[in-house]
Amino acid sequence: MEDLKSTPLRAAHEGLKALMAPFGGWLMPIQYAGIIAEHRWCRERAALFDICHMGEFLYKGDIVEDGLEGVFTFSVKTIAVGRSRYGFLLNEDGGVIDDLIVFRLAEDEAMIVVNAATTGNDFSVIRSRLKNPAVLTDISSRTGKVDLQGPLSREIMVRHFGPQIVDIPFFKFIRTRILDEDAIVSRTGYTGELGYEIFLPADKVARLWEILLQEPDVAPAGLGARDLLRLEMGYSLYGSDLDEGITPLTAGLSSFVNMDKEFIGKGALQRELAQGSPLAKVAFRVDSRRAPRHHYEILHEGEKVGSVTSGAFSPMLSCGIGLGLVKPSVAALGTRLVIRHERVEMEAEVVELPFYTGGSLRA
């Protein structure tokens, strides 16, 4: 593993004896106390995640005139200041270059938050699509990000950062001061729990981490727990459930695509709408504790009909859960499937998302 990047929290993770592993070009904490314990902590209390590896771009220019409006599958100009929106950057074939969130900071200012592994490519693609590329800056290296997620996160945030936190609705954010620096506190996350994403200058993140960890109800959680948490909600993971060969329509994410506006890849999506998708996304629940995993085969009545894109054992449901891409004819709710890999075989059933419905997300 050459040239792995480290976040400003690396020393903190090592001090906590975290198991570290490469992820998206970064050396990241996979677990501290244990994946299931951290997962449970997030569902019951408040878990703290190092998300400094994700990329951030700052756009300072006219949203329409300088070209941002046409870049993504959603409209940026209709995002109210103080709100954020999730969607996609597509290639000409409608394939997903990345999934991302745009934060509307001001009339002529937006922050784009992208996946770690795709940061460099996203930056060049987005710039190449702007009429005025100079309006976009990659601020990833100077921007730190930690997520505090869990049912107790609001009261902890209020205690540290003030009563204005109470009123942040889902997918809204505030600009505030934390540790004497400009910060963004956003009511977003990837866990299905009430929670916040905090953006702060990279050199202040270690201090913030330390302060939050002093709270008895806060424990650190690694990428292992994060993956279980997001999968229980059915959230897609770029690189597993989404990639350049999959369109958002195939991936079951059409609600994040606005076909009433122009964007690169729209033509391909219109053709897919007219002709039907070759594959359909399914969520399935395994009959046992066995875990389906990425690339396992999906069969229906003995015939191979697709493959698993994400899978895990769900601690909340006490069974295996997964997402997959299958022939549209076997995607209906209740369809019985068999998941197979070498000598491992498990029976499963197509179910609705989210798998886990008990989260505090909208609390």
Among 31, 73, 118, 277, binds another protein (CB under 8 A): 31
Among 274, 301, 343, 362, binds another protein (CB under 8 A): 343
Which lies closer to another protein via its Cβ, residue 110 or residue 291? 291
Query: What kind and span of H or E run contains 103?
Result: strand 96-106
**Total of residues contacting another protein (CB under 8 A):** 17
Residue 196-235 contact track with another protein, rule CB under 8 A, x = bound: ----------------------------x---x-------
C-alpha triplet 113, 129, 80: angle, nearest 5°: 50
Instruction: Supply the minimum distance, in Å, between the C-beta of residue 230 and another protein.
Output: 14
Q: Which residues have a Cβ under 8 Å from the Cβ of 314 and sit 6 or more positions away? A: 228, 231, 232, 320, 321, 355, 356
Virtual torsion, Cα 93, 235, 186, 50, nearest 10 deg:
-100
161 counts as binding another protein under rule CB under 8 A: no
Dist. CA 116–CA 238, nearest whole Å: 10
Which lies closer to another protein via its Cβ, residue 261 or residue 293? 293
Instruction: Supply the minimum distance, in Å, between the C-beta of residue 145 and another protein.
Output: 24
Is the separation of the CB atoms in 314 and 359 below 8 Å? no
Question: Which window, 93-101, 238-246, 321-329, 341-349, contacts another protein (CB under 8 A)?
Answer: 341-349
For residues 227-241, one letter each, b for 16 or more C-beta atoms within 10 angstroms of the residue's C-beta and e for the rest, the string is bbbbbbbbbbbbbbb
Instruction: Supply the minimum distance, in Å, between the C-beta of residue 13 and another protein.
Output: 16
Is the separation of the CB atoms in 218 and 156 below 8 Å? yes
Q: Which residues have a Cβ under 8 Å from the Cβ of 235 and sit 6 or more positions away? A: 190, 192
Closest CA to 88 of 294, 229, 246, 223: 246
Question: Which window, 114-122, 157-165, 338-346, 354-362, contacts another protein (CB under 8 A)?
Answer: 338-346
Residues 276-305 that bind another protein (CB under 8 A): 288-291, 293
Among 35, 156, 279, 339, binds another protein (CB under 8 A): 35
Which lies closer to another protein via its Cβ, residue 177 or residue 289? 289
Residues 101-130 that bind another protein (CB under 8 A): none
Among 68, 135, 136, 312, binds another protein (CB under 8 A): 312
Closest CA to 77 of 87, 69, 67, 85: 69
Binding site for another protein (CB under 8 A): 31, 34-37, 224, 228, 288-291, 293, 312-313, 341, 343-344
